[in-house]
Amino acid sequence: MRFYYPSISKSCLELSGDAHTHAAYALRIRVGDYITVFDGRGHDYSCKVKEIKKDKTLLELLNTAENTGESKVAVTLYLSVIKQDRFELAVQKATELGVTKIVPVYSTFTQRNVSLNYDRLNKIAISACEQCGRSKLPIIEQSLDFDELLGRAKSTYLIFPWEREMHGQLRAAIDKSKIDMSVFVGPEGGITEEEKNKLTDVGAKSVTLGTRILRAETAAIAALSVIYYEMGEWTL
């Protein structure tokens, strides 16, 4: 059992709010049980349940360890703004896969009437970290316009799926010497040819994900999965 605890600074910790409710009433932990808390910055803390009160669970801090399950490659996902529930799915799965940062992007075909709930997105990322064993929370930035993405693409190794790309293979585009790379996935309407040309003009790599047209969240999950596999993060 793992719980997020961002401010660890003393030997006796306490879970309160949603964390306490989940631990005491959903998971039914008991005095003497052992749990792990993490600070969101890469450290795990082994704890023993000391006391369970009505509004909080008291923990005794036993030892600290650096989490060894984090990815050795930093990957930023630039994902065009899509409907909240589908963006939430992408955040959850990208977090599980190991992504370092998630940045919403407004491009030509993005639905401008969509507004993301960032508090909820961060809660989903925390829950995904608790579930998958990560101890570093991905950073979820405020949204960018496409021109701002172009500015960033000049200084990062950026790969982007494009539905009309016929030859650029994702595997071939992955530079295994990099420890920092980015992926941009367009909205339902796709990336325009003008946007594609602007991206390639600043050095971004256009790739194909095959013959089927994938939803934005599926394309993001698929691209990240291939990157982590090719970078040696999976043992299959």
The pLDDT profile of the chain, 236 residues, written as one tens digit per residue, is 889 988 776 666 888 888 899 889 888 999 999 999 998 999 999 999 999 999 999 999 999 888 888 899 999 999 999 999 999 999 999 999 999 999 999 999 998 888 899 999 999 999 999 999 999 999 999 999 999 999 999 999 999 999 999 889 999 999 999 999 999 999 988 999 999 999 999 999 999 999 998 999 999 999 999 999 999 988 77
Distance of alpha carbon 34 from alpha carbon 180, whole angstroms: 36
With residue 36 as reference, give the H or E element that holds it.
strand 34-38
The DSSP bridge pattern shows strands 101-106 and 144-145 to be parallel
- pTM metric for this prediction: 0.91
